[in-house]
Amino acid sequence: MSASVSPPSLPAPTSTVLRDAVARLAAAGVPDPQVDAELLVAHVLGLSRGGVQAAAIRGDMFPDAAASELAHLIDRRSAREPLQHLTGLAPFRSLELAVGPGVFVPRPETEMVAQLAIDALAAAASPEPIAVDLGTGSGAIALAMATEVPYARVHAAENSVDAFVWARQNAERIGASNLRLAFTDFAHAFPELDGRVSVVASNPPYVPDDAIPRDPEVRLFDPPAALYGGADGLDAVRVLSRVGLRLAHSGGTIVIEHGEWQGAAIRDILGADGWRAAATHPDLTMRDRATTAIRP
């Protein structure tokens, strides 16, 4: 008697695969399950997100060869591994940055911090202004400045080996010849630039040590050194203020990202150190996100 053989499973419509993926991600508490499902399907199929939406509307069948890869990615995203770790890319302004374990994933709110730095750099009264990004992580702010103000010279410092590798990879992929990366802590970065810098920018660690982030993507996967900034979250800011005074020329600008509740305290720190015209700026959600000041 011959053994029975199960018939091969029939391909499912892309719309069905997408609907099932959305349901699984929603059940796991993923904040934007529709978006994440579409992006993961797009990653597996080598399509744009719009291409996935079009395939679902047309009734395209989902290829069997991609089903197991997608299932594995949905499992990982359901465990709240960041979407950007799964696709290997994080969009940032006009850039796509390579990211993964060991580096802080750049957030959309940091794009306005980069805009403040870019605006100050473009307004500098120099044909070749100098900018510094301290604690560059993936290189997001530094690469935005380097590509959007191509006549500037941008220097970026990072002291995490893992993050530095990602920043170097991104600089090589994007090809910003006016960007220089240095493996160093920002307290001692670039002494040769003292008094010559037009813009000092940073997205430092600013979460208070006892304020554990709610989102599992942040709490479980972002490197702690990129998150926690001491009892009040402002230890790195105090160092940045002093380092910025060393690096910036008169009229130079400092741009610091921070939490929505920290603007007043950071303005006090900068003012006490001698910075002028400290001002806090909201992001697109109207939450305070960055503080700037001018070196006298």
- Residue range 12-71, pLDDT digits in tens: 899 999 999 999 999 999 999 999 999 999 999 999 999 999 999 999 999 988 999 999
End-to-end CA distance of the chain: 92
Q: Which of the 8 DSSP states describes residue 17?
A: H
**Residue 180 burial by Cβ neighbours in a 10 Å radius (0-12, 13-18, 19+):** middle
CATH tag, 94-294: 3.40.50.150
pLDDT at 9: 55
Where do the structural domains in the chain lie, given as residue ranges?
14-79, 94-294
> According to DSSP H, which parts of the chain are helical?
14-27, 33-45, 49-58, 64-78, 83-87, 110-122, 140-148, 161-174, 216-221, 235-247, 263-273
Residue pointed to by tokens 């750099």? 121
271 vs 293: CA distance, rounded Å: 9
Residue pointed to by tokens 């950071």? 266
Q: How far is CA 225 from the centre of its chain?
A: 15
pLDDT at 7: 43
Residue pointed to by tokens 């301290």? 134
Lowest mean pLDDT among 2-6, 22-26, 288-292: 2-6
DSSP string, 125-172: SSSS-EEEEES-TTTHHHHHHHHHSTTSEEEEEE--HHHHHHHHHHHH
- Residue range 214-245, pLDDT digits in tens: 889 888 888 988 888 999 999 999 999 999 99
List phi, psi (to 5°) of 160. Answer: -95, 125
165 vs 99: CA distance, rounded Å: 10
Tell me the one-letter amino acid at 24: R
What tokens appear for 57 in the block? 């509307």
CB distance 262 to 234 below 8 Å:
yes
Q: What is the mean pLDDT of the chain?
A: 93
> Is it the case that residue 96 has pLDDT exceeding 80?
yes
CB distance 197 to 131 below 8 Å:
yes
66 vs 292: CA distance, rounded Å: 48
pLDDT at 227: 87
Closest C-alpha to 257, from 294, 290, 208: 290
Order the strands of the 288-294 sheet from edge to edge.
179-183, 153-158, 130-134, 197-202, 248-257, 288-294, 276-282
Lowest mean pLDDT among 7-16, 127-136, 280-289: 7-16
